[in-house]
Amino acid sequence: ETGVTQSPTHLIKTRGQQVTLRCSSQSGHNTVSWYQQALGQGPQFIFQYYREEENGRGNFPPRFSGLQFPNYSSELNVNALELDDSALYLCASRSSGGGSYNEQFFGPGTRLTVL
Amino acid sequence: GDSVTQMEGPVTLSEEAFLTINCTYTATGYPSLFWYVQYPGEGLQLLLKATKADDKGSNKGFEATYRKETTSFHLEKGSVQVSDSAVYFCALSDSGSARQLTFGSGTQLTVLP
């Protein structure tokens, strides 16, 4: 069973640029969430996708957007990058339905540096 | 909104010492509670969970009890090992459809031989 994978591992961009991060969910998982983890902080929820639709969003501006594909993989897009966007971006997948709790499995993350 | 307050670190212990990391939360409704661990260069791993009041989560010698009356979920281990060195995050999940996780700020644990 393949776990959650993310690409790229590291990325350096300059302020104002756009970036796309990718995530492949764990086999059998249909729900993907994205989190931003600033240095020395806990992860913060950006949004979640289920059946290719966004079904939950945290306190992030519209320049953070995403997609989920039919194979349940996902992309996170950030436009007009700002210095404060420098962080580790974590993807998590889980299955939905059946039971009251479905564990989220996290990928290793993409480290984004904005100069 | 929901929030998690976690004991500030870093925490440095000698091998075989007793560990407590405090965690308290604020939430509406009846959240599920979690402890995650993050080893250097790796993603988050679920360490243990509790989904209702008085539940005790346990794994790898770590334990935490869901205390609704004190809104707490403190992490404990009787005898830490060098391999336990990592960052520990307390988190809660709401009962809504998104079940997003709200994390504390993390506690860096270093265990010395």
pLDDT tens column, B15-74: 999 999 999 999 988 899 999 999 987 889 999 999 989 999 999 999 999 999 999 999
Residue A73's pLDDT is what?
93
Distance between CA atoms of B64 and B23, rounded to whole angstroms? 10
CA B102 to mean position of chain CA atoms:
12
Q: Is A23 on the interface with B (CB under 8 A)?
A: no
pLDDT digits (tens, 9 = 90+) for A20-31: 999 999 888 889
CB-CB under 8 Å, B43 with A109: yes
Average pLDDT, stretch A4-17?
96
Chain B CB within 8 Å of residue A102 CB? yes
Q: What is the pLDDT of residue B53?
A: 92
d(CA B59, CA A18): 41
> Whose CA is closest to A76, among A66, A91, A87, A86?
A66
| Predicted local distance difference test score (pLDDT) of residue B98 | 66
Among partner residues A42, A100, A102, which is closest to B106 by beta-carbon distance?
A: A42
Q: Are the beta carbons of A32 and A46 closer than 8 angstroms? A: no
The answer to whether the CB atoms of B101 and A45 lie below 8 A apart is yes
For Cα atoms B90, B91, B96, give the angle at the middle one, nearest 5 degrees.
Answer: 170
When pLDDT is cut at 50, 70 and 90, the band that residue A46 belongs to is very high
DSSP-assigned beta bridge partners for residue A44: A36
Task: Report the alpha-carbon distance of residue A76 to residue A18 in Å, rounded.
Answer: 11
* Cβ neighbours of B91 in A, within 8 Å: 42
Give the model's pLDDT for residue A100.
53
**CB distance B44–A41 less than 8 Å?**
no
Residue of higher predicted confidence among B96 and A95: A95
